[in-house]
Every structure is written in structure tokens, then in C-alpha cells.
Structure 1
Amino acid sequence: MLDYHAGELEVQGLAGVPPRASRVNKSLRPTLPPIAQTFLHEQCMAVLSTTDSEGRVWASILAGEPGFLKTPDEQTVKISAAPGPFDPLSKNLQIGGAIGMIMIDFATRRRMRVNGRIKSVQGEIVVHTEQVYSNCPKYIQARVLPGANTNEPPLPAPLTPQLSPETVCNAALTSEQRTWIERADTFFIASSHREGGSDVSHRGGTPGFVQVENATRLVFPDYSGNRMFQTLGNISVEPQTGLLFLDFKSGDTLQLTGKAQVIWEKERIAAFAGAERLVEFSIEEVIETKGAVPLHWQLVEYSPFLP
């Protein structure tokens, strides 16, 4: 059992979570049970949360053939994949540094989060686990890889990132990037806490659920979830946050870093169907990478839990 930190308890209180649920988180464990190890071995992608030398939080994605995530023991994860040269992850991998991970099987809507510390980066990224837990399938859009449940031939085995992918860095969103975000039905959000470490979670909704207010500010709803509020609890204490948007058809990625705040104003919340809170995100830097992920998913259906 792992205690909630002050930020998580604060958000739980504002959200009206019963006191019995805010004393201790019984679902988190420091080790990987056999079922979790099997799940990791079957995955072909992982989204990671790290912090750069300036204290900015980033969400990054790594991909590989099933088996690129290994678990030599119940408290170690080895990642056999390398970040692209322009991904902040390449500089953020420091021994002893905090790292968060989320793995999702979109076809089955199963997901698992693993948070811990970096032990080694020699050839593989080796992580010592501190928090391991699964989440419910809410808000995950069902997707499959060609060849999995279709008549299309399978894609070639995923490779390490290109040596020179087309990458563009800006301080604000371009018109094309704004359109990308406004059409998105899924993104990932990375956060951190000085005691709780790094964390990354999934957000899903109908296309348009993320509203682009201007070139440097987004707003998105927070729906009913596991009521532990790891992400919002982190944000309430440390607003530095990272977002990752993945184009599931092309493998392009859009990484944003900036500051987030939780919005509790009822009038603003009412404009978003099903929202219990909002998160406002102010952009500090944008990195767009073409073909960052050598995987291409097909949408099967939206989550039945979407408002």
C-alpha cells in the first residue's frame, strides 16, 4: 500500500471523494505480478513521462516488437528501444531519475501504468519499479493494427526511430497542429511530483473534446475515473505538464510541454458534456515529429463510456 500525497488528497477533497477512499491507495504495489509481466511482454508501445534539465515535463513514445518490454524480475522493466534524436527523452534519461510509463492494448482496452526510477541506459532503458497498477477500460477507443483482426497483411516489425525524422519545434501551435488536436480522440498526459515521481496517463473523448482556445492554450474535460487523481493531484502541486498526441494512421507525434491547472468553475465546466472538472494547459514548446512511430492503427469503435 502506498500513501497518497497532499496534492492527490486535496483534489479528492474538492471532488467529494469519501474519506475512506482518500486514506491509502490499496491498488498500487511496488512489484509486477505475473499477470502484469505477461501483459508487458505482449505490448508493442509504451508512453513515458520524464523531466528535462529545466524542470519541464515531457510525454514520449517508444515502440518495438512484442517482447521489447522485458521483466527479468518482479521489480525491473527493460525497454529495448531508443528515442529519436529530437525527442527530449534522449536527454532526460538520467540514472536515478524518475520515469512514468503507460502501456495500452487498444484492441482489448487493457492498460497498465508503471512508475519508478531509471537504473541504467546502457543499450536498454532499465527501470526499477515503485508503483504498478492497472486502470479500467473507460474512454479507450478500440483500435487494431493491420493484420491483427483484419484481412490486411501485417506491417513489418517495428524498427528503432529514424536517424533523421522530420522534426519541427515551435513555441506555439501552427494552424495544422490546431486542427490535429481538435480532431483527436486520444492523448496522453505526463506529470510529476517530488515525492510521487513521474506519471503518465491516458485521456480519451469524442473528436473535439480538446478545445484549442488559441495557439498557446488548450482546455479539456476530466471525466469520472478511478477517483485516485494521480494526474490532477500532481498538477495541483507541480503544474509543469507534458501532452502527447499520436496520429494513429501516420505514426506522427505532437509533443507539448507547459503548465496546467485544474478548473473547478461550474459555469466553464457546464460547457463540456460529462465533465466533472476541466484542465487548462498553457503551451511553452511544441515538437512535431513525422513518422515517429512505425505502427499504424485502425479505429474499430469509440468507447461506450464517452459522454
Structure 2
Amino acid sequence: MSGAYHWGSLAVQERVGVRELAEHVGRSIGTGIRDVAAAFLELQPHLVVGAADDAGRLWASLLTGAPGFVRATGPDRIAVAGGLPAGDPLAGALATAGTRVGTIALDPRTRRRMRLNGTLEVTGRGFAVRAEQVFANCPKYLQKRQPLDLAAEGAGVVRRGHALTPGQVRAVRAADTFFVATTAEADGVDASHRGGLPGFVEVLSPVELAWPDYAGNAMFLTLGNLTADPRAGLLFPDWETGAVLQLSGRATTEFGPDGSRDVRFRVESVVEAVHPGRLRWSIPEYSPHLGSTTR
């Protein structure tokens, strides 16, 4: 590690030519949860968690609850009440002390987001995370949505497989948001957000996706992790129905001579689920940054 970054992120920063900027931005990464961050967490009905399952596959999962189900219980600790629905690929990992996890709380109402990465502790009502990295991100590429109501019906896990079905292909192509979990082994797990206009995620085949890496905060935590370890987990939420599509596989970054970056993802496992109690959201107001995306 060099400050906030491990060798994978440093390598990407050097290649893209943003090392000095990244060093400055990296000073915002700490281990403490400030009062404003604690207040933000307590308002959230969702928390995305990334981790590896018992087989070492990386996944991103969506936890939901009434606001307050996620809260800070100390200067470097959050507690999460409840757990994942039955059949979720991370249900076992989030019941195992010592699991390395990455979390992201994203509020579509305000385009605010917060990331907290650390180590899991098992509690009587759910689990807690001892923070090792805490930081906020700018609202760039976040779509604005308003909450509607709770999805009343659900059937749990609908489908498992090793490739996308035609319906899942359509869902990915229509997506304007997804979450990605990545890892660098000893340096922990990270969960981050990707946003774009529908179609920004390309389906090259039922087992291969690609998306552009837009200019962001210069940290390159996700691409840095993929440089160190190609495992990745993707989560595509259906904001209007409450359904989720989870993919686990491996990803690589392709760097173009013009400075562009594209990520290619190879699908290895697929879980599609519809659970009752998930919050439904309005159609989006797209981020103003998406009119002139650069990489």
C-alpha cells in the first residue's frame, strides 16, 4: 500500500497520468465515520454489499430495510439489522465473522453516495462492519429517482445459470445503473457504482459484457482492484419492480491509445431474484454529466 492505494490502483493512476491528483483526492479516505456520514446512513433504505462466497466467487448484493436499519454504532463501525433474502449468494458470507466486505449507500433522491469497506462482525440482529476505508463520492453519473412504494409480491430466487437469458440481456441493455464489487485480496473488498444512459453496458454475448470507464475521481479503486485480481460481482437493480440481477465473473480493462478505457466482463454465474419488500422507484432524471461523457 502507498497511503490510500495498493499497487494496482497506483499502476492505473500512473498509466492514465493522474497520480498527483489521485494523491490529493486520496486524502479524503479515512477510517472514521463523521457525524454527517452517520446521519446520511440512517436515512437510507438500501445498502449494497460486496464480498466473496465460500467458493471464492465475488458478488454484489442488495440489502433493504426501513431507514435506520443501517447505522453508525461507533466512530469506525456500522451495524446492519437483518440480513439477505434466502437464496442470495452472499447469505453465508454475511453470517461469517472476518469476511472482508465493501459497502456503498446510494441515495437516488439526492444523488449522494458513501462507501465504507472493512471486516464483518456477526451480531445477534444481523452484522456489523469495522471500517478500514470510509469516503464519499461526487454525484457524477448518478440518476435521480423518487421512492414510490414497496414491491408487494415476490418469489425469491427466480433463476440461476451460467449465461444470460434473452430477458436478462434486455434488462442489462436497458440499465442506467449497476454496482460492481472488486477485491485485491489482502487489501479488502470495494463496492462501487457505475451509471450511464441505457445501452452504456453492451452485451457482446450471453457470457460477455463491456462498458466504458468514464472520467471520475482519479482514484481508480475499481480498475486498480481488477489489475490485482480479475474477480468481480455485478448487481443490476430493476428500480421499477424491485427485482435484482446478480452476476459473478472476471473482468479486464482495455486501454485505448486515445486514453479511453473499456472493461470487459466474462459471466460465470447468474442469479435473478424478485423479493417482496423491496422499494420501488420512479423513472430516472438522468445525470447532467451524461450529456458529455468522456473517459
Same fold per TM (> 0.5)? yes
The equivalent of 1:244 in structure 2 is 235
Distance 2:142 2:162 in 1: 30
Instruction: State the AA in 2 paired with 1:233.
Output: G
8 Å contact from structure 1 (residues 190, 243) kept in 2:
yes
Does structure 2 conserve the Cα–Cα contact (< 8 Å) formed by 1:117 and 1:129? yes
Report the equivalent of 1:133: 135
Question: Is this contact kept in 1: 2:81–2:125, CA < 8 A?
Answer: yes
Are 1:17 and 2:18 counterparts? yes
Letter in 2 for 1:53: D
Contact 1:250 1:291 in 2 (8 A): no
Inter-partner Cα distance in structure 2 for 1:191 and 1:17: 21
Contact 1:113–1:132 (Cα < 8 Å) also in 2? yes
Structure 1 range deviating more: 73-82 or 116-125: 116-125
User: Could you say which residue in structure 1 is the equivalent of 2:272?
Assistant: 288
> Does residue 108 of the first structure (1) align with residue 92 of the second (2)?
no
- 2: CA distance, partners of 1:121 / 1:254: 28
Contact 2:88 2:157 in 1 (8 A): no
Q: Structure 1: how far apart are the matches of 2:70 and 2:4?
A: 28
Q: Gaps (5+ residues) in structure 2? A: none
**CA shift digits 1:260-285 (9 cap, x unpaired):** 00111348x8xxxxxx3110000000
Shift of 1:55: 1.5
**1:154-194 CA deviation, whole Å, 9 max, x = no partner?**
x36x89x97x5142100000011001100110000000112
SS of the residue aligned with 2:283?
A: strand
Q: Secondary structure at the match of 2:288?
A: coil
| Number of the residue aligned with 1:277 | 261
The residue identity in structure 1 corresponding to 2:162 is A
The residue that corresponds to 1:79 in the other structure is 80
TM-score by length of 2: 0.93
Q: Distance in 1 between matches of 2:21 and 2:286?
A: 33
Most deviating of 233-242 and 195-204 = 195-204
Aligned to 1:303: 287
**Counterparts of 1:263 and 1:219, CA distance in 2:** 10
1:68-121 deviations in whole A, cap 9, x for unaligned?
A: 012121111110121011111111122111011000111110000000101114
In 2, are the aligned partners of 1:248 and 1:297 still within 8 Å (CA)? yes
| Counterpart contact for 1:69–1:79, Cα < 8 Å | yes
Residue 280 of structure 2 aligns to a residue in which SS?
coil
Letter of the 2:180 partner, please give it: I
Shift of 1:234: 0.2
Cα distance in 1 for residues equivalent to 2:138 and 2:156? 35
The equivalent of 1:46 in structure 2 is 47
Note the aligned Cα RMSD (angstroms). Answer: 2.0
TM-score under structure 1 normalisation?
0.89
Distance 1:286 1:116, change over 3 A: same
| 8 Å Cα contact 2:4/2:29 also seen in 1 | no
**2:14 is aligned with 1:31:** no
Are the equivalent residues in 2 in contact too, given 1:58–1:243 (CA < 8 A)? Answer: yes
User: 1:114 touches 1:133 (CA, 8 Å); kept in 2?
Assistant: yes
Measure the CA separation in 2 of the matches of 1:292 and 1:29. Answer: 36
SS at 1:13 equivalent: helix
Q: Is the 8 A contact 2:25 2:218 kept in 1?
A: no
With over 3 angstroms needed to count, the CA separation of the structure-2 counterparts of 1:247 and 1:34, relative to structure 1, is: same
Structure 1: 4+ residue segments shifted above 4 A = none
In the superposition, relative to structure 1, how do residues 74 and 5 fare at CA in structure 2: closer, same or farther (>3 Å)? same
- The answer (yes or no) to whether the contact 2:254–2:263 under 8 Å persists in 1 is yes
Shift of residue 123 of structure 1?
A: 2.0
Q: 1:249 to 1:259 in 2, by over 3 A?
A: same
Q: Look up the match of 1:185.
A: 176
Alignment of structure 1 residues 49-68 onto 2, 5 Å: 49-68=50-69
| CA distance, structure 1, for counterparts of residue 287 and residue 167 of structure 2 | 26
Identity %: 39
Q: Tell me how far apart the structure 2 counterparts of residues 32 and 81 of structure 1 sit (CA, whole Å).
A: 21
Amino acid at match of 1:186: T
How far does residue 125 in structure 1 lie from its aligned partner after superposition? 1.1
Show CA shifts across 1:194-218 (max 9, x none).
2320110000000000000001000
Which letter maps to 2:246? Answer: Q
Number of paired residues? 289
- The one-letter code sitting in structure 1 at the alignment partner of 2:197 is T
Q: Partner amino acid for 1:47? A: V
How far has the Cα of 1:12 moved from its partner?
0.5
